[in-house]
């Protein structure tokens, strides 16, 4: 059985930087808590906990020390809240997320109504919208969501995408808004890392040699699920969190297995999956071949 990795997969630059920052802090003896998972991957969360940096759901859960803000970012008011509570902040917000914070604030100041295409409950989107007046923005995900709003009433509209979305899949939503309000513009906020992983996953799943694809990532990771959706359109695909989820029965008759991984999947998890697949390969002896002398 041949193993092929996608041309691009795994940690994006934002997550890699966040991972390094937290580990450096912990290894230097720093102790604190991460607000929400530092990245959407349970293995990374456990690893951080072992290093002395636990994960909390709310800032109320910690009394003192350092609060870590994840790569997804937080609402600006959370920085003030941390200050008021006497907490130090280790900010690992990705620079691309900060770009959207800045650009959306500028659009708002210029009088535009903000539209975020994405998951309303995703932490990144909550970071953009939590502090805003409800009348100043919409979060839209489907064509039906978009149809329910009278867009013509806004003098100008500025559209932002949650960084991890595939813009092509939301084209109909954006076109509907543009058709009802000609003064609509789009910000180019799709993260290139996500797009590169998605394009590479599509290329892998449509590779004529590949029979089956394993998508490795956290079960709460939106971008991992998107990768799985893309691959499953073309080949039998399994979303796994690590080598322990592999079922040998999947590989009956499979000659080539493709591997890709979400932006929050650490390299060592991918290597473990690869090693497990190597173990599943029939040995030369079992195949009737001769072992090297
Ligand atoms: S996926 Fe993109 S926007 Fe999100 S953390 Fe990674 S580099 Fe940043």
Per-residue pLDDT tens over the stretch 84-111: 999 999 999 999 999 999 999 999 999 9
> Does residue 39 sit in the same domain as residue 87?
yes
* Distance separating alpha carbons of residues 101 and 186, to the nearest angstrom: 15
This prediction has a pTM of 0.80
- Asked if residue 290 is part of any domain, the answer here is no
285 domain residue, yes or no: no
The pLDDT assigned to 222 comes to 80
Q: Give pLDDT, residue 188.
A: 83
* Residue 256 and residue 208 in one domain: yes
| Mutate-to-test residue for ligand 1 from 22, 92, 190, 191, highest number of ligand atoms within 8 A of CB | 191
Residues 128 and 174 placed together within one structural domain of the fold: yes
Ligand 1 centre from 293 Cα, in Å?
49
227 Cβ inside 6 Å of ligand 1: no
Helix boundaries (H) for 181-254: 192-205, 222-232
Q: How far is the CA of 71 from the centre of ligand 1 (A)?
A: 7
Whether 286 is covered by a domain: the verdict is: no
Examine the domain organization and report whether 105 and 146 are in the same domain.
yes
Q: Is 287 part of any domain?
A: no
pLDDT along the chain (293 residues), means of 10: 95 89 90 84 84 90 92 95 95 94 97 96 95 97 95 97 80 95 91 88 98 92 90 97 95 95 91 94 43 35
Check whether residue 42 and residue 80 sit in a common domain. Answer: yes
- Number of domains into which the chain is organized: 3
CATH of the domain at 168: 3.40.1010.20
In a domain, 89, yes or no: yes
Q: Whose CA is nearest to atom 8 of ligand 1?
A: 14
Whether 159 and 200 share a structural domain:
no
Torsion 178-181-183-187 (CA) sign: negative
Q: Is the CB of 73 under 6 A from ligand 1?
A: no
The answer to whether position 173 is within a domain reads yes
pLDDT digits (tens, 9 = 90+) for 209-240: 999 999 999 877 888 999 999 999 999 999 99
Ligand 1 touching residue 107 (CB < 6 A):
no
Q: Is 10 in the pocket of ligand 1 (CB under 6 A)?
A: no
Would you say residue 293 lies in a domain? no
215 and 245 part of one domain: yes
**Is the beta carbon of 14 within 6 A of some atom in ligand 1?**
yes
Helix (H, G, I), strand (E, B) or coil at 184: strand
Of 62, 93, 124, the one marking the end of a domain is 93
Of 130, 158, 186, which residue sits at a domain end?
186
- List, by residue number, the catalytic residues: 124
Same domain, 156 and 225: no
For atom 5 of ligand 1, the residue with the nearest CA is: 14
- Helical H segments across the chain, by residue range: 13-27, 42-50, 76-84, 95-109, 123-129, 143-147, 171-180, 192-205, 222-232, 267-280
Q: Is there an atom of ligand 1 within 6 Å of 193 CB?
A: yes
Residues 104 and 165 in one domain: yes
Task: Tell whether 275 is covered by a domain.
Answer: yes
Instruction: Give the pLDDT score at 292.
Output: 36
The set of residues, in sequence order, having a beta carbon less than 8 Å from that of 43 and lying 6+ positions away, is 218, 241, 242, 266, 269
The minimum-distance atom of ligand 1 relative to the CA of 72 is 5
Closest CA to ligand 1's atom 2? 191
Ligand 1 centroid vs 105 CA: distance in angstroms? 20
Q: What is the pLDDT of residue 283?
A: 46
CB neighbours of 277 closer than 8 A, spacing ≥ 6?
1, 3, 214, 246, 257, 259
Residue that terminates a domain, selected from 53, 68, 93: 93
Residues 74 and 110 in one domain: no
Nearest-5° Cα angle at 139, 138 to 145: 90
User: Residue 108: which domain range?
Assistant: 96-186
């Amino acid at each position: 059985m041949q193993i092929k990795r996608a041309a691009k997969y795994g940690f994006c630059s934002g997550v890699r930087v966040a991972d390094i920052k937290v580990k450096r802090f912990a290894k230097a003896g720093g102790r604190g808590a991460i607000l929400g998972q530092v990245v959407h991957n349970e293995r990374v969360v456990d690893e951080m906990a072992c290093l002395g940096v636990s994960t909390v759901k709310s800032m109320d859960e910690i009394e003192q020390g350092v609060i870590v803000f994840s790569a997804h970012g937080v609402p600006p008011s959370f920085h003030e809240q941390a200050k008021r509570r006497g907490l130090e902040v280790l900010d690992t917000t990705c620079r691309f997320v900060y770009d959207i914070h800045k650009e959306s604030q500028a659009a708002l100041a210029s009088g535009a109504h903000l539209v975020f295409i994405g998951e309303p409950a995703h932490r990144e989107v909550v970071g953009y919208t939590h502090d805003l007046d409800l009348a100043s923005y919409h979060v839209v995900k489907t064509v039906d969501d978009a149809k329910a709003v009278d867009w013509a009433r806004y003098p100008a509209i500025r559209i932002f995408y949650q960084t991890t979305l595939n813009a092509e899949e939301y084209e109909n939503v954006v076109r509907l808004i543009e058709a009802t309000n000609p003064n609509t513009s789009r910000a180019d906020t799709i993260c290139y890392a996500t797009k590169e992983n998605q394009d590479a996953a599509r290329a892998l799943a449509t590779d004529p040699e590949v029979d089956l694809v394993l998508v490795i990532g956290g079960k709460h990771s939106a971008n991992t699920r998107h990768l799985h959706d893309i691959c499953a359109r073309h080949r039998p695909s399994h979303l796994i969190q690590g080598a322990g989820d592999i079922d040998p029965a999947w590989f009956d008759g499979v000659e080539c297995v493709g591997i890709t991984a979400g932006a929050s999947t650490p390299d060592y998890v991918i290597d473990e999956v690869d090693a497990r697949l190597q173990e599943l390969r029939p040995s030369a002896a079992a195949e009737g071949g001769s072992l090297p002398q």
